[in-house]
């Protein structure tokens, strides 16, 4: 697809390593080493982002480097002769030399090119697109959907394949954009078998640590290409801070790592600085902590992004009687009320909900112990037996889920589709109300690289999992598709007549040149939450 006369390959191609000369190759430091990105498209605005390295020693997280001026430009053509918006900002160590601009005054439903200039250097060129005008019903929207991208577990080929498509309006990232672990922890399949190592070489705890980790992820050429090709709409799950976190702590946080409140602040500040997202309603990099928000794509689709970590009550064990307490919440009362009101008042045909953890109830059938352990580790942990849910998901907050589904069913809010991540596996679920009638659908994307069942078991794909999948569907008839082994990405196509979810699998996460194939597709028709096989 051409963009102002320039193909996507040309736009994406400028973000590869060849576009950023290394000091050894060029004998000159280049200021834009972490690419460009855009996000949170509105009908007349979009966030654009970059990071400037003004000197060789001004590395991410270093606290070094003088303030530097950066010019930003948004254009309708690749030569930047028709610049529609521009400005000059100053960045410094207080924001880790990142730049984040909320560009307004744009036209709805339009593609734009953007870039940054600092000193002698011009950034890679990025492509972005604004949302359709209010009330518009476009013929089609298409979103990439991804989650769980662990640097150490493999290469980000899924991002490359999405970047090469050239037909996406946005990418929805459902969380675990990065991981906090040290090298050798929760990696390719065994604790000694990293595909590539994290920096810094220890678990991230301080603000400098999180800045370095974000910077490392944004050196990946496939991730840079995707960020430069299409705007992102993101939310966080747990690994952006620490495994299993809630406002008061986390599984992975230890007493010798200091205050968890300080760690959470550091992680969220770095996220705010390094991601093209409006936190706390502003695109000025700082320490925003509120990420739930609502984006509209005309009257065809809404996209409501949830925060299911920052407001939840502490997770309980499966046998804790307090699990069913009426006042326990995954969303927090304020976010829950906002979500219900957003769904009730939406005029969109399709109401998409970015939902980091699974909402459909799930029971796991008895299996041999090795298989049980693999699924427990993959789904963190999806427990076994008819009365043992995964309490890290909505299953651990049943009263909160019941209130939400009752509100959807009572008001006949149709077209609700939960887009979920977290569990590293692929699912299509009908989400049933109290009367057993589906009131919403749920599509769960597999991981980009993070371990799934065959990785944990050390078995060849599809040798053990087929029997496990059959047993899951037997016990959970609302599950219309499940795949426990493949890594990859999803593509969601939204039209007035149909919503279509495609699961795409990469051939090998340890191969930077991995291929891709379509794994499955499921569809919905307006007015029905019944999932169709296509």
Residues 357 and 382 in one domain: yes
What is the percentage of the chain residues whose pLDDT exceeds 90? 79
Please indicate, yes or no, whether residues 91 and 176 belong to a single structural domain of this protein. no
Domain shared by 229 and 112, yes or no = no
Three-state SS at 102: strand
Show the tokens assigned to 92: 């410094």
Residue 1 lies inside a defined structural domain of this protein = no
Name which of 32-46, 295-309, 350-364, 369-383 the model is least confident about: 369-383
Residues 118 and 162 in one domain: no
- pLDDT higher than 60, residue 385: no
Rg for the chain (alpha carbons), in Å? Answer: 22
**Rounded distance, CA 435 to CA 446, Å?**
30
pLDDT at residue 453 in the model? 86
Could you tell me whether strands 170-173 and 141-146 are parallel, antiparallel, or unpaired per DSSP bridges? parallel
Instruction: Tell the residue number behind the tokens 């011009």, with chain if given.
Output: 122
pTM above 0.85, yes or no: yes
Contacts of 180 (CB under 8 A, 6+ apart): 203, 204, 210, 213, 239, 240, 241, 242, 243, 252, 267
Last residue of a domain, one of 131, 151, 181: 131
* 51 and 168 inside one domain: no
Q: How confident is the model at residue 23 (pLDDT cuts 50, 70, 90)?
A: very low
* 20 domain residue, yes or no: no
457/178: higher pLDDT: 178
Do residues 70 and 176 both lie within one domain?
Answer: no
Residue with tokens 């930003």: 72
pLDDT at 1: 27
99/179 same-domain check: no
Q: 147 and 99, same structural domain?
A: no
pLDDT at 373: 62
Share of the chain above pLDDT 70, in %: 89
Mean pLDDT in the chain?
A: 90
Residues 6+ apart with CB under 8 A from 223: 35, 149, 156, 159, 217
Convert the pLDDT of each residue in 324-345 to its tens digit: 999 999 999 999 999 999 999 9
pLDDT recorded at residue 454 = 86
Q: Which residue has the higher pLDDT, 389 or 329?
A: 329
* Contact status, residue 115 vs residue 48, Cβ threshold 8 Å: no
Taking residue 73's Cβ as centre, other Cβ atoms within 10 Å add up to: 20
Going by pLDDT thresholds of 50, 70 and 90, the confidence category of residue 16 is very low
CATH number of the domain encompassing residue 367: 3.60.21.70
> For position 77, which CATH number holds?
2.60.40.380
Query: What pLDDT is recorded for position 149?
Result: 98
- Binned at pLDDT 50, 70 and 90, residue 380 comes out as very low
Place of tokens 């609700």: 416
Q: 249 φ, ψ to 5°?
A: 165, -165
Digit-coded pLDDT (tens) for 498-520:
999 999 999 999 999 999 999 99
pLDDT digits (tens, 9 = 90+) for 103-161: 999 999 999 999 999 999 999 999 999 999 999 999 999 999 999 999 999 999 999 99
What's the domain range around 55? Answer: 29-131
Nearest partner of 91 among 101, 80, 105, judged by Cα:
101
Confidence band of 319 (pLDDT split at 50, 70, 90): confident
Give the pLDDT score at 303.
Answer: 98
Same domain, 146 and 117: no
pLDDT band at 281 (very low <50, low <70, confident <90, very high): confident
The C-alpha angle with vertex 109 and arms to 158 and 344, in degrees rounded to 5, equals: 85
Q: How many CB atoms lie within 10 A of CB 144?
A: 27
Does residue 50 sit in the same domain as residue 181? no
Q: Which residues of 466-494 are buried (b: 16+ CB within 10 A; e: fewer)?
A: eebbeebeeebebbbbbbbbbbbbbbbbb
The pLDDT score that the predictor gives to residue 191 is 55
Residues 126 and 139 occupy one common structural domain:
no
Q: Are 451 and 377 in contact (CB under 8 A)?
A: yes
- Whether residues 367 and 354 share a domain: the answer is yes
């Amino acid at each position: 697809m051409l963009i102002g006369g320039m193909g996507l390959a040309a736009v994406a191609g400028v973000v590869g390593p060849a576009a950023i000369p290394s000091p050894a190759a060029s004998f000159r430091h280049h200021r834009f080493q972490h690419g460009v990105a855009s996000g949170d498209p509105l009908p007349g605005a979009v966030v654009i982002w970059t990071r400037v390295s003004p000197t060789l020693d001004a590395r991410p997280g270093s606290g070094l480097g003088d303030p530097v001026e950066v010019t930003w430009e948004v254009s309708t053509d690749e030569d930047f002769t028709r610049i529609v918006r521009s400005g000059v900002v100053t960045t410094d160590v207080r924001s880790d030399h990142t730049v984040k601009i909320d560009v307004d005054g744009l036209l709805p439903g339009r593609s734009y090119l953007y870039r940054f200039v600092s000193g002698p250097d011009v950034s890679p060129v990025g492509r972005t697109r604004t949302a359709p005008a209010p009330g518009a019903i476009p013929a089609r929207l298409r979103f990439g959907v991804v989650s769980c991208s662990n640097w150490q577990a493999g290469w980000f080929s899924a991002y490359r394949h999405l970047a090469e498509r050239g037909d996406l309006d946005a990418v929805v990232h459902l969380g675990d954009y990065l991981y906090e672990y040290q090298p050798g922890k929760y990696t390719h399949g065994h604790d000694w078998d990293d595909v590539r190592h994290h920096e810094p070489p220890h678990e991230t705890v301080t603000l400098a640590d999180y800045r370095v980790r974000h910077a490392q992820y944004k050196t990946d050429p496939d991730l840079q290409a995707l960020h430069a090709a299409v705007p992102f709409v993101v939310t966080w799950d747990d690994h952006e801070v620490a495994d299993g976190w809630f406002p008061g702590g986390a599984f992975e946080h230890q007493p010798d790592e200091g205050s968890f409140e300080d760690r959470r602040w550091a992680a969220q500040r770095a996220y705010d600085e390094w991601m093209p997202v409006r936190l706390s309603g502003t695109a000025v990099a700082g320490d925003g902590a509120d990420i739930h928000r609502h984006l509209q794509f005309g009257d065809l689709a809404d996209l409501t992004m949830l925060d299911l970590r920052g407001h939840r009550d502490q997770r309980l064990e499966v046998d804790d009687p307090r699990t069913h307490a009426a006042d326990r919440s995954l969303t927090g009362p304020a976010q829950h009320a906002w979500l219900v009101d957003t769904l009730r008042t939406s005029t969109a045909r399709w109401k998409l909900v970015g939902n980091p953890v699974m909402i459909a109830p799930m029971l796991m059938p008895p299996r041999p112990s090795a298989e049980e352990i693999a699924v427990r580790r993959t789904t963190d942990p999806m427990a076994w037996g008819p009365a043992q849910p995964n309490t890290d998901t909505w299953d651990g907050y049943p009263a909160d889920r019941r209130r939400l589904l009752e509100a959807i069913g009572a008001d006949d809010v149709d077209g609700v589709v939960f887009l979920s991540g977290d569990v590293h596996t692929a699912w299509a679920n009908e989400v049933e109300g109290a009367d057993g009638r589906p009131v919403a659908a749920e599509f769960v994307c597999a991981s980009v690289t993070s371990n799934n069942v065959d990785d944990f078991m050390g078995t060849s794909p599809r040798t053990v999992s087929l029997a496990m999948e059959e047993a899951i569907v037997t016990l959970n008839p609302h599950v219309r598709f499940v795949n426990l082994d493949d890594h990859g990405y999803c593509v969601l196509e939204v039209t007035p007549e149909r919503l279509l979810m495609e699961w795409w699998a990469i051939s090998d996460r340890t191969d930077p040149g991995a291929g891709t194939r379509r794994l499955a597709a499921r569809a919905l028709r307006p007015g029905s939450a019944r999932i169709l096989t296509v």
